[in-house]
Amino acid sequence: MTSNTTADVVIIGGGVMGMSAAYHLAGRGARVTVLEAEPMFGTGSTALNAGGFRHQFSTAVNIELSKQSLKMLARFEDEFEQPIGYNPCGYLFLLDSADDVAAFRTNVELQHAHGVMTEWLSPDDVARLAPQVNRDGIIAATFCDRDGLVDPNGILQGYVRGASRAGATLRSGVRVTGARVRGGVIEALHTPAGDVTGGTFLLAAGPWSGEVGRLIGVDVPVVPIRRQIAVTAPIPGLTKSFPFVIDFAQSLYFHYEGGAILTGMSNHDEKPAFNTSVDEAWRERHIEAAVNRLPMLGESELAHEWAGLYEVTPDDQAIIGRLPQLKNLFACTGFSGHGLMHGPSAGLAVAEEILDGAAHTVDIGPLRWREFGAGEYNVV
């Protein structure tokens, strides 16, 4: 088998994380190679998400990653000559229990401490902001007008172009199948196109990160969890300012999507699996809940639906930085449902971890490798 590339950094996975990291590494002068299994870049989770962008998190590190990403997205169109359809429609969280209100009080205080001025809304305020929403059972809501929507494909294409211009070698249709490891160091990755050598390796394989980890002999606790989306036919009168609404207790959400409504709802009983078929029974439950919360959906037709995979860790938090199992392996994965919005800042952070020894633009401390406990998920 031939050895066909020597790079400073070899990145496994050409989704938003791999491409953002490639752009930031190559922009600093590193010789970068990206290996993507599929014929095109960005056809994994990056192509299948809801396009949501928020600052409303319960941890400081995620708030800071969002703030940094938003700064980068604000100059994205000029930097990459690539529209990303940023729509600051805001995220509106609907709350229906005193326990959730109490938890959100803590979260909103934290957001304020980080300069994110999330507002508290009453049910009457919700009626003014989104009159189409059924407010039955809602006792309070939060709203942040810096949250909103972005075009996932625009971001991906911008980073593909930017990485390529910065000199990265981008190889699609090249699947990593294993690794040659000696003395705790990866010397090369095996692919059907030959071995790929490098100094440092970055695991950015999204929902496949656990599987790719196993191929190279490392236990990385990231599993694929199916999440489903439905999009209606266009709805007359709906405008872009309609907020991204989350019915928190039901894990139900909906937002404006090209004149229509895109909606999703998390099935907490979903077991880890590489399954992207649409679950028809779940669709029925989801649509029933969505029509109840947004009654105008009862009049609209379903135009399109799909399922994609979240890349989930046991604590629902990403893993960014060096992995302890091998001396030259890093990861940028496990974003558990918010990897598009954190793609810009996390790609920068892992580039700093690799080139500078530690991320310094954002303090990613809690997201570095930590003990996860064993056997929480079994992939079927």
Ligand X SMILES: Cc1cc2nc3c(=O)[nH]c(=O)nc-3n(C[C@H](O)[C@H](O)[C@H](O)COP(=O)(O)OP(=O)(O)OC[C@H]3O[C@@H](n4cnc5c(N)ncnc54)[C@H](O)[C@@H]3O)c2cc1C
Binding site for ligand X (CB under 6 A): 12-18, 35-38, 43-46, 48-52, 175-176, 204-208, 212, 227, 229, 264, 308-311, 333, 335, 337-341
38: how many CB neighbours lie within 10 A of its CB?
16
Residue length, the chain? 380
49 touches 43 (CB < 8 A): no
CB of 98 to ligand X, least distance (A): 28
d(CA 150, CA 341): 8
Residue 364 Cβ, how far from ligand X at the closest point, in Å? 15
Closest residue to ligand X using C-beta atoms: 339
The span from the CA of 17 to the CA of 344, in Å, is 8
DSSP per position, 153-213 = HHHHHHHHHHHHHTT-EEEES----EEEEETTEEEEEE-TT-EEEEEEEEE--GGGHHHHH
What is the smallest separation between the CB atom of 77 and ligand X, expressed in angstroms?
Answer: 18
The smaller minimum CB distance to ligand X, of residues 48 and 170, is found at 48
Residue 140 or 307: the one with the smaller Cβ distance to ligand X is 307
Q: Which residues contact 46 (CB under 8 A, 6 or more apart)?
A: 15, 16, 152, 156, 206, 339, 340, 343
Using only C-alpha atoms, what is the Rg of the chain?
21
Closer residue to ligand X, CB minimum distance, 14 or 321: 14
DSSP 355-377: HHSS--SS--GGGS-----S-S-
3-state SS class at 93: strand
Identity of the residue, 116 or 140, whose beta carbon is nearer to ligand X in the bound complex: 116
Which helix (H) or strand (E) element contains residue 348? helix 339-356
Taking the complex as a whole, the smallest distance from the CB of residue 369 to ligand X amounts, in Å, to: 17
Of 141 and 203, the one with the shorter C-beta distance to ligand X is 203
What's the min distance (Å) between Cβ of 54 and ligand X?
A: 8
- Which residue number, 130 or 309, has a Cβ lying nearer to ligand X? 309
Nearest approach in angstroms of CB 236 to ligand X is 25
For the CB of residue 189, give the shortest distance to ligand X in the complex, in Å.
Answer: 8
CA distance 147 to 133: 19
Nearer to ligand X, 140 or 213 (CB): 213
